[in-house]
Amino acid sequence: MGLLRFLFLLTLQLSLFTLSSQATMTNQSYFFSLMNQTLSGNSLSRWNFSSVGVSDSYFCNFAGVGCDNRGYVIKIDLTAWSLTGYFPEGVCSYMPELRILHLGHNHLQRNFPISITNCSLLEELNMTHMNLSGSLPDFSPMKSLRFLDLSYNRFTGDFPLSLTNLTNLETMNFNENGDFKLWKLPVELSRLTKLKRMILTTCSIYGEIPRWIGNMTSLVDLELTGNFLQGQIPAEIGKLKNLQALELYYNQHLSGEIPDELGNLTKLTDLDMSVNKLTGKIPESVCKLPNLRVLQLYNNSLSGEIPRVIENSTTLTLLSLYDNYLTGTVPPNLGTSPNMMGLDLSENRLSGELPKQVCKGGKLLYFCMLQNLFSGEVPENYANCKSLLRFRVSNNRLRGRVPDGLFSLPHASIIDLAFNQFEGPIGKSVGSARNLSELFLQGNRFSGSIPPEISRATNLVKIDLSNNNLSGPIPPEMGSLRKLNTLMLQGNKLDSSIPDSLSSLKSLNVLDLSNNLLTGTIPESICELLPNSINLSNNNLSGPIPLSLTKWGLEESLSGNPGLCISVYPNPLEQKFPTCPKLHSRKRVNHIWLIGISVAFVIVGIALFLKRWLGKDKGVAKHNKTLSSSPFSYEMKSFHKINFDQKQIIESLVEKNVVGHGGSGTVYKIELSDGKAVAVKKLSTRKSKVLTPEDHLFLNKELKTEVQTLGSIRHKNIVKLYGYFSSLDLNLLVYEYMPNGNLWDALHKGRNLLDWPTRHKIALGISQGVAYLHHDLLPPIIHRDIKSTNILLNAEYQPKVADFGVAKVLQARAKDSSTTVIAGTCGYLAPEYAYTSKATTKCDVYSFGVVLMELLTGKKPVEVEFGESKNIICWVSCKVETKEGATEVLDKRLSCSFRDEMMKVLRIAIRCTSRTPAHRPTMNEVVQLLIEADPCNFHSFKSSNKVKEPSNETKTKNSSQ
Ligand SMILES: *[C@@H]1O[C@H](CO)[C@@H](O)[C@H](O)[C@H]1NC(C)=O
Ligand SMILES: *[C@@H]1O[C@H](CO)[C@@H](O)[C@H](O)[C@H]1NC(C)=O
Ligand SMILES: *[C@@H]1O[C@H](CO)[C@@H](O)[C@H](O)[C@H]1NC(C)=O
Ligand SMILES: *[C@@H]1O[C@H](CO)[C@@H](O)[C@H](O)[C@H]1NC(C)=O
């Protein structure tokens, strides 16, 4: 009886199971067709629904799907299937046994699918790189969760503290997420005793790193980079015996000393605490760690010596300690580790000789020792550092001859020996430096002639040999350096004529041959290049000045060549250059007098400049003293030779001359006595109040950025800064005047509609200006506030980029390309910038993309009609999903004859504003793409009865590559 009953019950249970299993199969099947409906992407065609019915659990054979032996789905992995649409709700109601859900690297622009939290058996949830936004739900029901990866999304709201309930959690990755509200690490986190990987990079955490973190002894990887942590690093971290990676960089406010206890972390391989305010010495215990591969402590206030024990490490691959106050000598055997790949000790106060063994391992790629007090010679064996990509020792006290082989390192792209006391010749072997793109030897005592072999280093982009003792000719062979962009040979004793062959340097952008002994005439062919900056002053050049050079207003860069003359009548520059061939003796006297004045002017300017800026950080207090309190006593500097009378300018700072109010001050248009107009920006100060020291600091900073940045730049698409005045209560910047105002007004308020060719010209011009900042300057400059109000238009509607008040000079080397101050303007800000406050050149590309969209649509970056999202990028990207929509976004007031070209530009704009910085093109690429979309080329092609002259843009395009 008992047995029968048992069998009966068993059968019943089995059939019930079969029934419920049947239902589950149907449910699971249903969820697959649901996914097939709500998601789209070609990869889904891999799911062959035609096998439906062949078996109940047909989907178990689907790509990315895993089942247990009963046909229950336990795994769905759609990683990187290029899916769009959305993930349907209710996954675990249909698939009750799901353990693994991987949906990363798909663009499902929606909120987090809340019902996933019902998956109480789910162990792995990977939703990295999914473009999800909105706030996160309560995760408490997901008791089984072990791996949670929500990195690279845009979540906002409160950080989900419910995670502290998930005691099985082993990995928590929130790397690079949106904009959580500020939060502190709660003590409940220490309940997660199984947690191995806690990755909370840029998650808006503030406060101190708590001591109880030392109880989370399972931790292998602790990453708290890019938050707002402050205070000391707790010694308790030393208790995390399993820790392999500790990443605390870029918190900016972690202070105090590095605890000795970190030396207990014997498994540690990566330690990065850069960009903080750490003080004291680098603990010896840390340098002794047996497994340490990466030690990065750059950009702190560390002092003392580099512990000598670090030279014994056999595991070290990267040591980066730049920008601290380290003193003493470098451990003499540093770099002997067989895996040493990078060594950056720049910007410290290190002295003594360079370490001799750095290349022993044969893998060294980066050797950067800039700006220290190193002395002695470059060790002979450095010539064997064949693996080097960068060799930089500028701004030290190194002397002697440079080992010949150093010039011919086969892989090196940068060799920088500038500002030392090196002597002897430049090695002929430089010709075999096939990958060399930048050669900096300026400010040394190199002598002999420039080896003609240099012309075989055909990848050279920048050559700076200025201010040495070089003599002999400029080798005509240099004309074959097709990629050359910058050639600086000023301040030597070069004594040939200017070789004609230089005119084949089609990419040349900066040419400085001033202060040499060059003779002969200026070759007419040079003018075809029209580099953005050319300086031939103070040589012995003679004969007629090529006409185009006079037209381009370059007279100042020809001064100091008494033999030069103007062969046009009437002589437009007779104040400066005599007429050829006859010279009036009185004119010559005038001329010499003029040179005298100019030289005096320049000397005074330089003296003031040095006085002002050499003091640098410690100089604020000192600097205030140099300013007199009288309103008519000014510090001033002039970058261009233009006469301005301070008094006249100050008297013209009246209401009727106001032309605008910029972010940082009021702008006036002022007519000078010679009829020329200038724009004067008065940096704002608090009204009717004496400046506080903080104000002064701020103004100084603002002034300093703008002056430093702009004073040194000459590019046709960047506004010219003529000079500045500064006194205790007034800071004035004098610019060239731009009669057509700013682009915002021209587009949104202008009475005249700008046609597409003009708008294209404006777009191209801006891109060339910005490309120059990003790619042609060393160090590059990030503008950080590109927007239509900062684009000024001259009489021909050539655009010029203005307002460098917040520009950031990127440090060369891969250094810290990030900045602390959030600059920029709403609507133009790149998303990553808004939450990581890291400025990169790609942020500028993004802002430029917004300006492009303004040019294309004629709309402002933020308008009511865009609806909920209220921003031009969302509006455009929604519209362009359909072909009709794409034409709809284009400015309807424009003629449709340029539609194809405008569509091309629209595609560029969309790429520039891609959410992922890596997907955005570089500014150089943008220039190229815009040239390809040139409406004028297209038109001249269509109506080809006229031969079109190359426009200025196309000419300088070459030179800015
Ligand atoms: C899956 O989606 C494709 C494309 O939308 C559609 O053609 C197909 O009928 C769908 N199959 C099922 C079973 O829903
Ligand atoms: C999530 O998926 C990505 C892409 O496949 C992978 O790189 C990452 O390691 C996964 N995260 C976890 C926690 O397994
Ligand atoms: C943890 O779970 C409990 C029970 O579900 C809940 O009451 C509590 O709010 C959760 N804690 C957090 C921080 O969400
Ligand atoms: C951390 O561990 C110590 C020693 O085991 C213990 O006294 C302390 O209460 C723990 N702290 C927390 C927050 O769990």
Sequence-separated (6 or more) residues with CB below 8 Å from residue 95: 27, 28, 31, 72, 73, 76
The pLDDT assigned to 663 comes to 54
Q: First CA to last CA across the chain, in angstroms?
A: 94
Taking the C-alpha atoms of residue 822 and residue 449, their distance in angstroms, rounded to an integer, is: 49
Which of the residue ranges 175-179, 405-409, 440-444, 497-501 would you say has the lowest mean pLDDT? 175-179
| Model confidence at 7: pLDDT above 90 | no
Ligand 4, atom 6, residue with closest C-alpha: 215
The pLDDT assigned to 895 comes to 79
Taking the C-alpha atoms of residue 682 and residue 667, their distance in angstroms, rounded to an integer, is: 6
DSSP 806-844: T-EE--STT-----SS--S-TTT--HHHHHH----HHHH
* Confidence class for position 153, pLDDT limits 50, 70, 90: confident
Q: 109 C-alpha to center of ligand 1: Å?
A: 21
The pLDDT assigned to 402 comes to 95
State pLDDT tens for residues 292-327.
999 999 889 999 999 999 999 999 999 999 989 999
In this prediction, residues 744-754 reach a mean pLDDT of 84
The pLDDT assigned to 525 comes to 82
Cβ proximity of 374 and 397 under 8 Å: yes
DSSP 32-94: HHHHHHHEE-GGGGGS-GGGBTTBTTGGGGSTTEEE-TTS-EEEEE-TT---EE-PPS-HHHH
Which helix (H) or strand (E) segment is 223 a member of? strand 221-223
Q: What is the CATH number of domain 633-737?
A: 3.30.200.20
Q: 163 C-alpha to center of ligand 4: Å?
A: 20
Q: What is the amino acid identity at position 361?
A: G
Q: Decide: 43 in ligand 1 pocket, CB within 6 A.
A: no
Domain boundaries, the chain: 473-572, 586-629, 633-737, 742-808+820-961
| Model confidence at 941: pLDDT above 60 | no
Query: Which residue's structure tokens are 């704002």?
Result: 684
How many other CB atoms are there within 10 angstroms of residue 622's CB atom? 10
Whole-number average pLDDT of the chain: 81
Q: Which residue has the higher pLDDT, 838 or 879?
A: 879
| Model confidence at 61: pLDDT above 50 | yes
- Residues within the annotated binding site for ATP? 682
The pLDDT assigned to 950 comes to 30
Taking the C-alpha atoms of residue 130 and residue 961, their distance in angstroms, rounded to an integer, is: 35
Sequence-separated (6 or more) residues with CB below 8 Å from residue 166: 139, 140, 142, 143, 145, 148, 192
Q: Decide: 171 in ligand 2 pocket, CB within 6 A.
A: yes
Ligand 2, atom 7, residue with closest C-alpha: 128
The angle at the Cα of 586, spanning 583 to 592, to the nearest 5 degrees, equals 85
Ligand 3, atom 10, residue with closest C-alpha: 162
In this prediction, residues 37-51 reach a mean pLDDT of 86
Taking the C-alpha atoms of residue 618 and residue 625, their distance in angstroms, rounded to an integer, is: 13
**Helices then strands (H, E): number in the chain?**
19, 51
State pLDDT tens for residues 112-140.
999 999 999 999 999 998 888 889 999 99
Q: Decide: 123 in ligand 2 pocket, CB within 6 A.
A: no
Active site residues: 785
Q: 264 C-alpha to center of ligand 2: Å?
A: 30
* Confidence class for position 414, pLDDT limits 50, 70, 90: confident
The pTM (predicted TM-score) of the whole model is: 0.65
Q: 161 C-alpha to center of ligand 3: Å?
A: 9
Ligand nearest to the CA of 164: 3
Q: 111 C-alpha to center of ligand 4: Å?
A: 37
**Which of 36-50, 658-672, 885-899: highest mean pLDDT?**
36-50
The pLDDT assigned to 583 comes to 43
In this prediction, residues 171-178 reach a mean pLDDT of 86
Nearest atom in ligand 1 to 52's CA: 13
What is the three-class DSSP state of 133? strand
Ligand 4, atom 2, residue with closest C-alpha: 215
Taking the C-alpha atoms of residue 435 and residue 452, their distance in angstroms, rounded to an integer, is: 17
Fold category of 473-572 in CATH? 3.80.10
Classify strands 84-85 and 469-472 as parallel, antiparallel or unpaired.
unpaired
Across the strands, what pairs with 922?
Answer: none
Q: 137 C-alpha to center of ligand 3: Å?
A: 12
As a whole-number percent, the residues of the chain with pLDDT over 70 amount to 78
Q: Identical fold at 473-572 and 633-737?
A: no
The pick from 189, 191, 193, 215 for probing ligand 4's pocket by mutation, whose C-beta has the most ligand atoms within 8 angstroms, reads: 215
Which helix (H) or strand (E) segment is 156 a member of? strand 154-157
Q: Decide: 165 in ligand 3 pocket, CB within 6 A.
A: yes
| Model confidence at 892: pLDDT above 70 | yes
The pick from 184, 185, 209, 212 for probing ligand 4's pocket by mutation, whose C-beta has the most ligand atoms within 8 angstroms, reads: 212
Alpha carbon of 11 to those of 16, 58, 70: distances in Å? 8, 26, 18
Q: Name the token pair of 794.
A: 């001259």
| Model confidence at 164: pLDDT above 90 | yes
Which helix (H) or strand (E) segment is 758 a member of? helix 756-771
Nearest atom in ligand 4 to 214's CA: 1
Q: Decide: 49 in ligand 1 pocket, CB within 6 A.
A: yes
Q: Name the token pair of 680.
A: 């004067």
As a whole-number percent, the residues of the chain with pLDDT over 90 amount to 45
In this prediction, residues 911-917 reach a mean pLDDT of 84
Fold category of 742-808+820-961 in CATH? Transferase(Phosphotransferase); domain 1 (1.10.510)
| Model confidence at 588: pLDDT above 50 | no
| Model confidence at 626: pLDDT above 50 | no
Which of the residue ranges 243-247, 609-613, 831-835 would you say has the lowest mean pLDDT? 609-613
In this prediction, residues 593-618 reach a mean pLDDT of 41
Ligand nearest to the CA of 172: 2
Taking the C-alpha atoms of residue 79 and residue 74, their distance in angstroms, rounded to an integer, is: 16
Using the CB atoms, write b or e for 682-694: b if 16+ within 10 Å: bbbbeeeeebeee
